[in-house]
Amino acid sequence: MSKGIRDRVAVIGMGCTRFAEHWDKSVDDLLVDAAYDAFEDAGIEPTDIEAAWLGTMASGYAGFTLAGPLKTQYIPVTRVENLCATGSEAFRNACYAVASGVYDIVLAIGVEKLKDSGYSGLTRPQPPSDGTAPNITAPASFSFLAPAYFKKYGLDPEQGKGVLSRIAWKNHYNGSLNPKAQFRNEVPIEQIKKSPMVAAPLGIMDCSGVADGAAAAIIVRSEDAHKYRKDPMYVKALSIAAGPGDGRIRQDFDFTSIQENVASSTAAYKEAGITNPREEIDMAEVHDCFTPTELVIYEDLGFSERGEGWKDVLDGAFELEGRLPVNPDGGLKSFGHPIGASGLRMLYEMYLQFQGRAGQRQLDNPKIGLTHNLGGTPWQCVSFVSIVGKEKSD
Amino acid sequence: MSKGIRDRVAVIGMGCTRFAEHWDKSVDDLLVDAAYDAFEDAGIEPTDIEAAWLGTMASGYAGFTLAGPLKTQYIPVTRVENLCATGSEAFRNACYAVASGVYDIVLAIGVEKLKDSGYSGLTRPQPPSDGTAPNITAPASFSFLAPAYFKKYGLDPEQGKGVLSRIAWKNHYNGSLNPKAQFRNEVPIEQIKKSPMVAAPLGIMDCSGVADGAAAAIIVRSEDAHKYRKDPMYVKALSIAAGPGDGRIRQDFDFTSIQENVASSTAAYKEAGITNPREEIDMAEVHDCFTPTELVIYEDLGFSERGEGWKDVLDGAFELEGRLPVNPDGGLKSFGHPIGASGLRMLYEMYLQFQGRAGQRQLDNPKIGLTHNLGGTPWQCVSFVSIVGKEKSD
């Protein structure tokens, strides 16, 4: 019988670059910066690493892009890729390799350098040639969630826009407290509401940006973690669900829920032994690529009842002082979204918060955190959920 | 302490398409063909699979390309990529996930559809823009091994060409016995010697071709294997070594050995407890992308003493009746090389041979096999070595 990852591996070091427009740095520079930040944090030498997983969607290939700059000496380096969930896959596969007992200490690292890549934001790198599946921009594909949600739950457009803007406002406010965030400015809610339209009803302020960056984690088995530090982060669940679609919008897709999110969170809660996520989870980093995505995620992951997420937003439930702070680091919206790095950046925030190192945005002693990372379109995606903890369960 | 994969996981089903020019099949068709071949072989339903790893270099992205055609329902599908060693990475990461206890039964599958892809055979998908690293074709990069080897060990060009041609002849002969091989014709050695020059001294008959295909494996923990079949294949070692280069030809590179091969095979022998590979390994599938690659591999992997590989070739040591048959299925040369599928195709031959299902090319009761898969150039690559067995060690 499968037994889950439950507390069997731990993170003993993490690193992250600032997410930004790094015109003056190469992909290799970003990898070195994040990796050495993690090595230093863990108190290890680069040569201590026995194997590595590199997550990148388009800023490299194979293990070469990592073995060169890090000067690793004939260790395994595996590239993994799962669109915007790529960084989480690097972490997940690295955790399994350690849990298997094959390696004692490994590196998971993610990178993307998008600003100079010509990245178009199209949802399908290889659009089907038969024209049956839409090849539209990411903002357009996620924009569909907003009017569908508003209609289903009786919000008029003005109300709906207010809810979305409040989500963007929250993430910008949180990012303003984060020295590593791409956008470190608070933005008034009225300015968010009036931001130039990108894909109605989404304005530019409803959208995460395009950024460069890298993030890294050092993973060991839990029984070894205290050799490295007194305050490791424990991994309680890792779940990925890939939707069975073919790129077409499914006939039964209702645009107010993403089935992949439901599947991955349900599996993760089971793996971690969580029965009431609203009560048991103290903080979360979720995939707020666009504001309606975050709104739907609240309900898909059980942070809000169905149809109640928008009320919880207006009540401040997910703000730093709320009952379940979401995206305390600023999220994709404000921290930035260099694709291969984002999943690891989310874990980085959990790690800092558990250790009381989150500065002005520090929460009050959080013990259980969740990260949620999504790749694809609402109607066909991969959804990743991790549950991490400050302490080992009994 | 790390404990290696030693016999902890087993393969209970495999499938493979014919490798060929599949103009009439899509990538999805090839995936379905290989996966259902494996499901049928294992006696399982597609819905039994708990997670999957998809290896493809360029014929897909993310897990989408697999979840769609196989109609998997919200299970994890992870894409891995390590150039020509991609298929082996799918297998390796799937094995670790099972060994970790997180999943009970998983699928590793590799695919590539190259014939209609415009694949150029360039060694670097993203050549460096500063012009410091060569961006040459794969045949050219591996051709350098031949004259270097001839010079170091005193072979004149005619002798050397004879050795290379004998390797090509062997692989074509073996492929002629294999109904799933791309090229199923024996080729006279004189014709091989005179084949049109591609990258001197390599003629077209020294080169593997461009093919479409897919291969798949179903993996469980060893203690569960007999629930599915009486004759599973056990995994004794999995090793990958990524070279630390940056694309440039290293100053100290001598062109008669690939350090990554030495590193990966040394680690694999240690993991499997093999001290004398020449005696203990009964058969091997190695990465014969070009004939001099296979020659150098013999020595890098310890199948021959340094400088003696060419003599062993002429003695027939690696032929079906020889002391250590290499590429009994025809190898990349004759079976074909759809990139993401090749590593799994090598394992497929081990599996058939262990079960006595290799038809006209069946070896006499082999018990220990090795697969070797390589991605990159001789001076910067990833090298994968697996050791697999018919029986569990004590």
Which sign does the torsion angle of CA A335, A340, A346, A348 carry? negative
pLDDT digits (tens, 9 = 90+) for B51-88: 999 999 988 777 777 888 998 999 999 999 999 999 99
Spans of chain B, pLDDT less than 50: 125, 127
**What is the Cα–Cα distance from B80 to B57, expressed in whole angstroms?**
8
Domains along the sequence of chain B with CATH: 9-121+212-232 (3.40.47.10), 138-208+234-389 (3.40.47.10)
Q: What share of chain B is helix, strand, coil (3-state, %, to 5)?
A: 35, 20, 40
Interface check for B264 against chain A (CB to CB < 8 A): the answer is yes
Instruction: Please name every residue paired with A371 in a beta bridge, in sequence order, or none if there are none.
Output: A285, A386
Query: CA angle at residue B142 from B140 to B146, to 5 degrees?
Result: 105
Write down the pLDDT at residue B121: 61
| Residue B2 touches chain A, beta carbons under 8 Å | yes
Using the predicted structure, report yes or no on whether residue A62 has a pLDDT greater than 90: no
Tell me the chain A residues in contact with residue B101 when contact means C-beta distances shorter than 8 Å.
2-4, 99
* CA distance to A231, A324, A359, per residue, from A356 (Å): 10, 17, 8
Give the residue from B137, B121, B135 showing the smallest Cα distance to B339. B121
List the single residue in B with minimal CA-CA distance to A223. B1
The SS3 of residue B319 is: coil
The pLDDT of A49-70, averaged and rounded, is: 89
pLDDT at A81 over 70: yes
The contacts of residue A154 (CB under 8 Å, 6+ apart) are: none
Residues of B in contact with A247 (CB under 8 A): 64, 68
Distance CA B205, CA B203 (A): 5
Q: At residue A318, does pLDDT exceed 60?
A: yes
3-state secondary structure labels for all residues of B277-312: HHHHCCEEECCCCEHHHHHHHHHHCCCCCCCCHHHH
Question: Is 80 exceeded by the pLDDT of residue A177?
Answer: yes
Residue A376 contacts residue A124 (beta carbons within 8 Å): no
Is residue B175 classed exposed, middle or buried when 0-12, 13-18 and 19+ CB atoms within 10 A define those classes?
buried
Name residue A199's beta-bridge partners. A202
What value does the mean pLDDT take over residues A279-290?
98
The answer to whether the CB of B56 falls within 8 A of the CB of A76 is no
Catalytic residues of A: 84, 337
Partner residue opposite A76 with nearest CB, options B68, B241, B246: B241
User: Strand B51-55 and strand B283-285: pairing?
Assistant: unpaired
Res A2 pLDDT > 80: no
Q: What is the pLDDT of residue B136?
A: 82
Chain B interface includes A50 (CB < 8 A): yes
Which candidate from B73, B76, B99 shows the least CB-CB separation from A240? B76
Give the model's confidence band at A202: pLDDT under 50 very low, under 70 low, under 90 confident, else very high.
very high
Give the pair of three-digit tokens for residue B199.
């990258």
Can you tell me the distance from the alpha carbon of B328 to that of B350, in angstroms, rounded to the nearest whole number?
A: 9
Min distance B124 CA to chain A CA atoms (Å):
9
Cβ B385 vs Cβ B265: under 8 Å: yes
Distance of alpha carbon A45 from alpha carbon A72, whole angstroms: 11
Count of beta carbons in the 10 Å neighbourhood of residue A215: 34
A-chain residues near B66 (CB < 8 A) = 242
8 Å CB contact between B262 and B272: no
On whether the CB atoms of residues A16 and A37 are closer than 8 A, the answer is yes
What does the radius of gyration of chain A's CA atoms come to, in whole angstroms?
19
Phi, psi of A137 (to 5 degrees): -70, 160
B positions 352-381 inside 8 Å of A (CB): 375-376, 380
Catalytic entry in B22, B172, B287, B337: B337
pLDDT band at A76 (very low <50, low <70, confident <90, very high): very high
- Out of A72, A96, A126, the one facing B61 most closely (by C-beta) is A126
Between CA B294 and CA B378 the distance in angstroms is: 12
Question: A1: which chain B residues are within 8 Å (Cβ-Cβ)?
Answer: 104
Task: Out of A5, A238, A380, name the one closest to residue B64 (CB).
Answer: A380
Q: What percent of chain A has pLDDT over 90?
A: 86
What contacts A303, CB < 8 A, 6 or more positions away? A277, A278, A281, A284, A297, A309, A312, A317, A318, A324, A326
Minimum mean pLDDT range among A136-140, A146-150, B83-87, B374-378? A136-140
Given a cut of 60, is residue A123 above it in pLDDT?
no
Contact status, residue B77 vs residue B63, Cβ threshold 8 Å: yes
Residues of A in contact with B243 (CB under 8 A): 64, 67, 74
Q: Say how many CB pairs under 8 Å bridge A and B.
A: 193
Is A246 in the B-facing interface, judged by CB distances under 8 Å? yes
Residue A120's pLDDT is 59
Asked if A79 lies within 8 A of B74 by C-beta distance, the reply is no
Contact status of B260 with chain A (Cβ, < 8 Å): yes
> pLDDT for A226-245, tens place per residue?
999 999 999 999 999 999 87
> pLDDT tens-digit profile of A22-52?
999 999 999 999 999 999 999 999 999 999 9
Q: Which one has a higher pLDDT value, A3 or B196?
A: B196
Q: What are the angstrom distances between the C-alpha of A52 and each of A66, A94, A272, B174?
A: 9, 7, 25, 37
What is the per-residue pLDDT for B59?
A: 85
Neighbouring-strand partners of residue A11: A219, A233
Residues of B in contact with A80 (CB under 8 A): 78-81, 93
By C-alpha distance, the chain B residue nearest A124 is B61
Q: What pLDDT was estimated at residue B252?
A: 86
Find the radius of gyration of the CA atoms of chain B: 19
